[in-house]
Amino acid sequence: MTSITAVPSVSGTHIRVEIPEISGTIWFEWRGPMEIIGATPCNDNFALLAALPIAMRRGCALRVRGTVDPMLLASAERYTRIWSQWRPDKYKPAKLSADREIPDIARQGTQPWIYPFSGGVDSMFSIFANSAGDTGRDTHVPGSVFLVRGFDYPLSDTKSFPILEQRVRRVAQLLKVPMLVCSTNWKEFCIQYELDTQLGLAAIAHTLAATHAGVSIAADFTYGEDLRIMPWGNNQYMAHLLGSSGFHVAGGGAEALRVDKLAYLSKIPNALEMISICQTPSGEENRLNCEKCEKCVRTALGLYVATGRVEPTFVRKPSAFRIFSLPHLSLIEVVFWSDILVRMPARDWASRWAIKFLIALTNEHAY
């Protein structure tokens, strides 16, 4: 296949990108205030980003049957070249074009930004810090938050996602910003979700460019940690390549380690009660966090070394036995555990020994 085309269409809150060559349709369906989700996209930038993984998998040309910002065409093409060098086993360069190449109209400086929001530590820290103006010159005023159904939570999930949506809505109400929900099948078309998440979030956000100046995608890691684990999909060095001349894409929160983010959130009333860590309800008061999986155990210990306690996010501090019971870590997860180990008090010798053993076991299996 030498080329594919992306054919966008908008019908109210339902947005489609047809890829005729593979008989595929990427779709986005919005829920939320109509004054936001009902605004027709300014252009078809979203279609370029939505279809980009298909072109990168095949190494073929991609043409959008619509209007795309020439700055985005150039930067997205560079994006494909970088990924083709980082992961040549998965990605290939793609040549990008559109029927009409027209620069975006620059947004007014007072127009707010939109925030993808999972309710986790990173997105909670990013939006609270930006709302409080604690991010200096990188501050982007939040105008709304959106939750994605079809990424971490499958479209078929009728158990955990409603709990998450309810919790995220509480956060949005606390911040006094509208909450939106985007359901999408885009994940079916990406190459590897962990590497493509940033691209998918940017594609979704571009559908809201008529009412926002940009999107801020919360960082998973610090700038330094990104360098240790690269290539990582949501790294802080690539986000800007997914923006246009009128709609910016940026990261946020890469200046703070995960434990420091937890310490920051602990000072905000009710914030720790609303953090969502995993997708498995524990059965206790319909809590979303199971307190047994690696992510829950790691976050509980991070909260403990940050504040001296795990409540109210969790019921109890994980025991050394619970740490021992975890499966082998990934090398990416080791980054978080290493910081927790450094900060774990000397008196907690059992926890320290268990974490050292877990990290050593992971390193042993990595070589």
Mean pLDDT on 78-92: 97
175: pLDDT strictly greater than 60: yes
* 113-252 maps to CATH 3.40.50: yes
Express as a percent the part of the chain with pLDDT over 70: 95
Q: What is the pLDDT of residue 350?
A: 96
CA distance 320 to 348: 10
Q: What is the pLDDT of residue 2?
A: 85
pLDDT tens sequence across 213-256: 999 999 999 999 999 898 989 999 999 999 999 999 999 999 99
Burial-class residue 289 by CB neighbours within 10 Å (0-12, 13-18, 19+): buried
Q: What is the pLDDT of residue 281?
A: 61
Mean pLDDT on 104-117: 82
Q: What is the pLDDT of residue 111?
A: 83
Is the separation of the CB atoms in 305 and 336 below 8 Å?
no
Q: Tokens in use for 124?
A: 């909670």
The partner residues of 147 in beta bridges, in order of sequence, read 181
Q: Tokens in use for 252?
A: 């946020």
pLDDT tens sequence across 143-168: 999 999 999 999 999 888 998 899 89
Q: Sketch the domain layout of the chain as residue ranges.
A: 3-101, 113-252, 277-366
Q: Tokens in use for 302?
A: 């991070």
Is the separation of the CB atoms in 187 and 312 below 8 Å?
no
Q: What is the pLDDT of residue 286?
A: 44
116-120-122 Cα angle (round to 5): 75
Across all residues in the chain, what is the average pLDDT?
93
Q: Tokens in use for 31?
A: 């829920």
* Residue 367 pLDDT grade (very low, low, confident, very high; cuts 50, 70, 90): very low
Q: What is the pLDDT of residue 327?
A: 85
Q: What is the pLDDT of residue 285?
A: 52
Mean pLDDT on 47-75: 98
What kind and span of H or E run contains 62? strand 61-68
Residue among 28, 1, 337, 308 at smallest CA distance from 182: 28
Name the more confident of 108 and 334.
334
Mean pLDDT on 136-142: 89
CA distance 199 to 239: 8
Express as a percent the part of the chain with pLDDT over 90: 81
Helices marked H in the chain: 34-37, 45-58, 70-86, 121-131, 160-175, 193-206, 223-229, 258-265, 294-307, 320-324, 331-343, 349-366
Q: What is the pLDDT of residue 43?
A: 96
138: pLDDT strictly greater than 70: yes
pLDDT tens sequence across 259-294: 999 999 999 998 998 898 887 765 555 466 888 999
Please state whether the predicted TM-score (pTM) of the whole model is above 0.85: yes
Is the separation of the CB atoms in 253 and 113 below 8 Å?
no
| Tokens 């992306």, located at residue | 6
**Lowest-confidence pick of 86-95, 189-198, 277-286:** 277-286
The partner residues of 116 in beta bridges, in order of sequence, read 146
Helices marked H in 63-103: 70-86
CA distance 59 to 54: 8
76: pLDDT strictly greater than 90: yes
